C-alpha cells in the first residue's frame, strides 16, 4: 500500500471529516430505501384494516339494485368468505341485496346454487321470520327499500330478478284472464302454471251461490266457500232468490223466514217456488230406507234412492221424482242409512244390505 504523508494536522482532520460525512450519507440513504420499501409493501399487500369490504357481505354494505330500472337482474355473487350476517335465517353464509323500489312492482325471484339454497325477502335487514324459497312468482313490493338475503352452503349462487310474467288466472266467475301472480291474487283468482294460456287451461265452472246476506252470485265452489256461501242446484241467480224463504228441515219441521244459505247449511230444503210452511207438508215421518215415503222399506225405494243419490244436493226434486216435495225434503234423513248426519256415498252399502234383508213393515233399516 502506498504510504500517504500528511503535511500537517489540518490535512489529517480534513480526511477524517470527509469519511464521516460519507458514512452519514450512506446511512441516511439506507433509511430512505427502507421507508420506500415499506410504503411499496403497504400498497401491494394492504393489511386487513385497510382493505375494502365486498359489497353484499352484510346489511351495512349490501349490493344495491334499483327496481324496476335494472330488471331483469342477474348476479352470480359467491357467498363463500362473506360470512353469516343473518344467523336468524340459518347457519350458511349469505349475500345481502338491497332493492330500491321506485314504483310498485311484482317480481319473480329465482336463486340457484346448493340443494339447501334459499332466499328471504323483507323490509328489514336481516328479514328474520321471513319464509325461505328457491323460486317465487308474485313477490309484490311497494315503493321503498326492501332486502333479499341469499343463503347457500355452496360458493356458487345466482340471483335472478325479473318482472312477473303473465299467467292464466281463473277468476271467481269461472272466466280466465292473463294476469301476473300479484294481479290474480288481488282479484281473488287462482293462478295457473307458467307458460300456459287461457286456451290451454280449464277453469272451474261457476254455479249459483247463496251468500249469508241473502245475495246471490254465480261463482266457483272455492270462491263460494271462501265467502261463507252455500251452493243452490238447478237454478240461476235472480232477484230475491237467496233471501228469506220457508225451509223444510230434515226432522220434518218447517221454519219460516230462513235465509236460503242457512237452510242449506241445516241440510234443509228451501221452498224457493213460493211455498210456505202453512201450505207445504214438511212433517212426514222419516223411516231410514223409506225413500219414497210410503211408510215401509221395500224394493220400491231403490229407484228413488238412486235419484236422490244423483241429485241429492238440489233444493227441488228432479222432474222424474213423483213422491212429492215433502218427501224430497226429508231425503237427508230417509237416505242416511249410515247415520252420519248426512246422505252420501257411505250410505250405499248399508242400503244394499237393507234391501237384501228387509225390515218389518213400519220399521226402518237397522244401523250398520
pLDDT in tens, 131-140: 999 999 989 9
pLDDT confidence of residue 26? 57
| pLDDT band with cut points at 50, 70 and 90 for residue 24 | low
pLDDT confidence of residue 46? 42
CATH architecture of 63-163: Sandwich (2.60)
| pLDDT band with cut points at 50, 70 and 90 for residue 33 | low
Gyration radius of the chain's alpha carbons: 42
pLDDT confidence of residue 12? 45
Chain segment 176-228, per-residue pLDDT in tens: 999 999 999 998 899 999 889 999 999 988 888 999 999 999 998 888 888 99
Beta bridge partners of 141: 105
Residue partners of 269: CB distance under 8 A and separation at least 6: 247, 248, 263, 315, 316, 325, 328, 329
Structural domain spans, the chain: 63-163, 165-203, 244-356
Instruction: Report the pLDDT averaged over residues 286-312.
Output: 88
Instruction: Report the pLDDT averaged over residues 259-266.
Output: 86
Helix (H, G, I), strand (E, B) or coil at 322: coil
Count Cβ atoms within 10 A of the Cβ of residue 115 and give its class: 0-12 exposed, 13-18 middle, 19 or more buried: exposed
Hey, which bits of 4-134 come out as E strands?
63-67, 73-75, 94-101, 105-112, 118-122
The fraction of the chain above a pLDDT of 70, given in percent, is: 83
| pLDDT band with cut points at 50, 70 and 90 for residue 145 | very high
Q: Are strands 244-248 and 254-259 parallel, antiparallel or unpaired?
A: antiparallel
pLDDT confidence of residue 84? 92
pLDDT confidence of residue 42? 43
CA gap 197, 167 in Å, rounded: 7
Residue 119, pLDDT above cutoff 50:
yes
pLDDT confidence of residue 89? 93
Hey, which bits of 188-251 come out as E strands?
190-191, 207-210, 216-219, 230-231, 244-248
Count Cβ atoms within 10 A of the Cβ of residue 173 and give its class: 0-12 exposed, 13-18 middle, 19 or more buried: middle
| pLDDT band with cut points at 50, 70 and 90 for residue 278 | confident
Chain segment 64-104, per-residue pLDDT in tens: 999 999 999 999 888 888 899 999 999 999 999 999 999 99
Residue 14, pLDDT above cutoff 50:
no
| pLDDT band with cut points at 50, 70 and 90 for residue 30 | low
| pLDDT band with cut points at 50, 70 and 90 for residue 4 | very low
CA gap 301, 324 in Å, rounded: 14
pLDDT confidence of residue 49? 35
Q: What is the overall mean pLDDT for the chain?
A: 82
By C-alpha distance, which of 295, 230, 303, 322 is closest to 267?
230
Instruction: Report the pLDDT averaged over residues 26-52.
Output: 46
pLDDT confidence of residue 25? 53
| pLDDT band with cut points at 50, 70 and 90 for residue 175 | very high
Instruction: Report the pLDDT averaged over residues 275-303.
Output: 84
Q: Are strands 118-122 and 144-151 parallel, antiparallel or unpaired?
A: antiparallel
Grid cell 410504503 — which residue?
Answer: 39
pLDDT confidence of residue 116? 84
Residue 348, pLDDT above cutoff 70:
yes
Within a 10 A sphere around the Cβ of 210, how many other Cβ atoms?
29
Amino acid at each position: 500500500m502506498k504510504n500517504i504523508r500528511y503535511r500537517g494536522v489540518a490535512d489529517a482532520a480534513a480526511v477524517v471529516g470527509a469519511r464521516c460525512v460519507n458514512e452519514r450519507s450512506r446511512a441516511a440513504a439506507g433509511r430512505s430505501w427502507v421507508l420506500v420499501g415499506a410504503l411499496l409493501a403497504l400498497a401491494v399487500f394492504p393489511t386487513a384494516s385497510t382493505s375494502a369490504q365486498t359489497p353484499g357481505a352484510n346489511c351495512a354494505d349490501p349490493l344495491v339494485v334499483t327496481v324496476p330500472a335494472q330488471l331483469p337482474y342477474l348476479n352470480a355473487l359467491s357467498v363463500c368468505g362473506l360470512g353469516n350476517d343473518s344467523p336468524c335465517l340459518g347457519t350458511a353464509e349469505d349475500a345481502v341485496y338491497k332493492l330500491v323500489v321506485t314504483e310498485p312492482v311484482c317480481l319473480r325471484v329465482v336463486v340457484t346454487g346448493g340443494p339447501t339454497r334459499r332466499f328471504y325477502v323483507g323490509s328489514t335487514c336481516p328479514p328474520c321470520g321471513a319464509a325461505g324459497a328457491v323460486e317465487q312468482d308474485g313477490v309484490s313490493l311497494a315503493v321503498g327499500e326492501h332486502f333479499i338475503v341469499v343463503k347457500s352452503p355452496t360458493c356458487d349462487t345466482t340471483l335472478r330478478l325479473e318482472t312477473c310474467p303473465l299467467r292464466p288466472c281463473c277468476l271467481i266467475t269461472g272466466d280466465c284472464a292473463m294476469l301476473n301472480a300479484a294481479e290474480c291474487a288481488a282479484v281473488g283468482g287462482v293462478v295457473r302454471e307458467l307458460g300456459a294460456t287461457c286456451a290451454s287451461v280449464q277453469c272451474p265452472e261457476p254455479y249459483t251461490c247463496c251468500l249469508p246476506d241473502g245475495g246471490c252470485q254465480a261463482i266457483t265452489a272455492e270462491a263460494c266457500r271462501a265467502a261463507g256461501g252455500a251452493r243452490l242446484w238447478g237454478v240461476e241467480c235472480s232477484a230475491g232468490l237467496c233471501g228469506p224463504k220457508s225451509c223444510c228441515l230434515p226432522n220434518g219441521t218447517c221454519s219460516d223466514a230462513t235465509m236460503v244459505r242457512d237452510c242449506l247449511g241445516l241440510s234443509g230444503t228451501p221452498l224457493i217456488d213460493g211455498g210456505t210452511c202453512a201450505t207445504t207438508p214438511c212433517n212426514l215421518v222419516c223411516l231410514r230406507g223409506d225413500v219414497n215415503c210410503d211408510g215401509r222399506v221395500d224394493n220400491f225405494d231403490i229407484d228413488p234412492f238412486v235419484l236422490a243419490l244423483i241429485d241429492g244436493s238440489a233444493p227441488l226434486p228432479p222432474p222424474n221424482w213423483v213422491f212429492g216435495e215433502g218427501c224430497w225434503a226429508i231425503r237427508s234423513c230417509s237416505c242416511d242409512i249410515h247415520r252420519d248426519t248426512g246422505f252420501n256415498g257411505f250410505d250405499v252399502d248399508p242400503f244394499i244390505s237393507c234391501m237384501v234383508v228387509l225390515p218389518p213393515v213400519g220399521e226402518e233399516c237397522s244401523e250398520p
